Structure 1
Amino acid sequence: MAPDRDRDFATTLAHGIDILACFRADRPELANKDFAQQTGLSKSAVARLTHTLVELGFLQRSGPPARYRLGASVLALSYPLLASMHIRQLARPLMKQLADHARGAVSLVVRDRLHMVFVETARSNDALQTRPDIGGSLPLLASAAGKAWLCRAPDTERAAVLNQLRVADAGYYAQHFPSLEAAGHDLERKGYCGNNMQWRPDAFGFAAPLCRPYQSLLYVFNCGVPSGDGPYRARAADIGPRLVALARETEQLLGLV
Structure 2
Amino acid sequence: MPPPRTASRTTAPRPPEDRHFVTALARGLDVLACFRAGDKLLGNQEIAQRCHLPKSTVSRLTATLTRLGYLIQVEEGGKYRLGTATLSLGSAMLVRLDVRQVARPLMQELADFAHAEVSLGTRDRLSMIYVENCRSSAPHTASLDVGSRISLTNSAMGRAWLAAATVDDRNALLAQIRDRSETRWPAMQQRIEHAMQDYRSLGVATSFGDWQKNVNAIARSFQPGGGLPPMVINCGGPALRLTQDALLTDVRPRLIEIVARIETALYR
| TM-score, normalised relative to structure 2 | 0.88
Q: 1:174 to 1:244 in 2, by over 3 A?
A: same
Shift of 1:184: 2.2
1:214 aligned partner: 225
Secondary structure at the counterpart of residue 207 of structure 1: strand
Matched residues, number? 255
2:4 aligned partner: none
Matches within 5 A, 1:1-257: 2=14, 4-125=16-137, 127-210=139-222, 212-215=223-226, 216-255=228-267
Comparing 31-40 and 234-243, the one that deviates more? 31-40
Secondary structure at the counterpart of residue 42 of structure 2: coil
Please list the CA deviations of residues 110-139 of structure 1 after superposition, one character each: whole Å capped at 9, or x if unmatched. Answer: 111111111111012564344221111111
Shift of 1:101: 1.1
Give the AA of the match of 1:149: W
CA distance in 1, matches of 2:192, 2:54: 38
**2:121·2:233 contact (CA, 8 Å) conserved in 1?**
yes
Root mean square deviation, CA, Å:
1.9
Give the AA of the match of 1:231: T
CA distance in 1, matches of 2:139, 2:220: 23
More helix by share: 1
Shift of 1:252: 0.8
Unaligned stretches of 5+ residues in structure 2: 1-12
Please list the CA deviations of residues 179-233 of structure 1 after superposition, one character each: whole Å capped at 9, or x if unmatched. Answer: 22332232223211111111111210110111x3522220110011210115312
CA distance in 1, matches of 2:124, 2:21: 19
**1:129·1:202 contact (CA, 8 Å) conserved in 2?**
no
Secondary structure at the counterpart of residue 170 of structure 1: coil
Shift of 1:5: 4.3
Shift of 1:66: 1.0
- Structure 1 segments of 4 or more deviating over 6 A? none
Q: 1:74 to 1:140 in 2, by over 3 A?
A: same
Q: 1:186 to 1:85 in 2, by over 3 A?
A: same
Comparing 31-40 and 155-164, the one that deviates more? 31-40
Percent of counterpart pairs with the same letter? 37
**2:37·2:149 contact (CA, 8 Å) conserved in 1?**
no
CA distance in 2, matches of 1:4, 1:130: 44
Shift of 1:35: 2.0
Secondary structure at the counterpart of residue 228 of structure 1: coil
CA distance in 2, matches of 1:230, 1:45: 46
CA distance in 2, matches of 1:147, 1:87: 20
Give the AA of the match of 2:148: G
CA distance in 2, matches of 1:229, 1:214: 35
Q: 1:43 to 1:201 in 2, by over 3 A?
A: closer
